[in-house]
Each structure stands twice: as structure tokens, then as C-alpha cells.
């Protein structure tokens, strides 16, 4: 049995398979997932697991080169936006309208669905390298 890090086998596998610039998405419970993109559904009930909790856990194992959020997050969910910036380097941030964000998801290796009920609680993580 794995002792540390992500213990969800499917999520652990996806993280370990990512190469430089590959992307994964952490999404709220209402984010539409494009057909053909792998879905890792962690949602158990409203708020469980939460977006921030999921992001923190993934960041323990994933080297992030940059990240993308919808511009609407800053206005509609400002507290969540600020917490996201605390976890990720704001200098690495890229923003774009939510409709473009959803189109960009089509290239993701996986979308991780959380139980989050906060609007625009979504981020695209672009994998970096550790060397």
C-alpha cells in the first residue's frame, strides 16, 4: 500500500504519466468535461473533496510550469482566486474567458472532478520538468 502522496490509483497514474507541457484540469462539480477526455471523478458530495484541497494534494506530486484560470474566477469567486494564487506562483498565471478555458480542456490528459460548488473553481495545470 502506498504510504504518501496521492493514494487514488487513477489520479496517481495520470500524474506519473504526464510529460513536459501536458495538462490536467481540476474542476468544480459542474464543469462540463469534453467527450474523449479522461474523467477522474473524485466528487463524493457537495464540497467533498473541495477544489483547494484537491489542488494542494496534486501540487505535492506535480511540477507545474504554468497554470490557466478563467478570467471570471477573479470577479465571481475572488476569495478562491486569491487562495489559488497562494498555492501557485501568480507569475505563472494565464487567464482567459471561461468559454476559451472549456475549449482548452479538450487537450487535457484528464479532468479531475471535485465536489466543489463554488463557481469557476477550475484550473488547468501545465506540467513542468524537475531538471
As annotated, the binding site includes: 28, 98, 120-122
Active site residue 126: no
The answer to whether 110 and 85 are in contact (CB under 8 A) is no
Which of 7, 16, 20, 82 is the catalytic position?
20
Query: What burial class does residue 84 get, using C-beta atoms within 10 Å of its C-beta: 0-12 exposed, 13-18 middle, 19+ buried?
Result: buried
Q: Angle of helix 78-87 relative to helix 51-59, nearest 10 degrees?
A: 10
Q: What torsion, rounded to 10 degrees, do the Cα atoms 107, 6, 93, 77 define?
A: 100
Report the C-alpha gap between 112 and 41 in whole angstroms. 6
Report the C-alpha gap between 93 and 14 in whole angstroms. 22
Residues comprising the binding site for substrate? 28, 98, 120-122
Residues with catalytic annotation? 20
Amino acid at each position: 500500500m502506498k504510504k504518501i502522496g496521492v493514494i487514488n490509483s487513477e489520479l496517481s497514474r495520470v500524474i506519473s504519466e504526464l510529460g513536459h507541457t501536458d495538462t490536467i484540469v481540476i474542476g468544480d462539480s459542474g464543469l462540463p468535461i469534453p467527450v474523449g477526455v479522461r474523467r477522474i471523478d473524485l466528487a463524493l458530495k457537495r464540497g467533498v473533496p473541495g477544489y483547494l484541497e484537491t489542488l494542494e494534494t496534486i501540487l505535492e506530486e506535480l511540477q507545474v510550469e504554468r497554470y490557466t484560470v478563467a478570467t471570471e474566477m477573479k470577479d465571481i469567486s475572488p476569495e478562491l482566486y486569491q487562495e489559488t494564487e497562494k498555492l501557485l506562483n501568480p507569475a505563472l498565471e494565464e487567464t482567459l474567458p471561461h468559454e476559451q478555458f472549456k475549449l482548452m480542456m479538450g487537450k487535457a490528459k484528464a479532468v479531475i472532478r471535485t465536489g466543489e460548488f463554488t463557481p469557476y473553481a477550475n484550473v488547468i495545470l501545465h506540467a513542468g520538468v524537475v531538471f
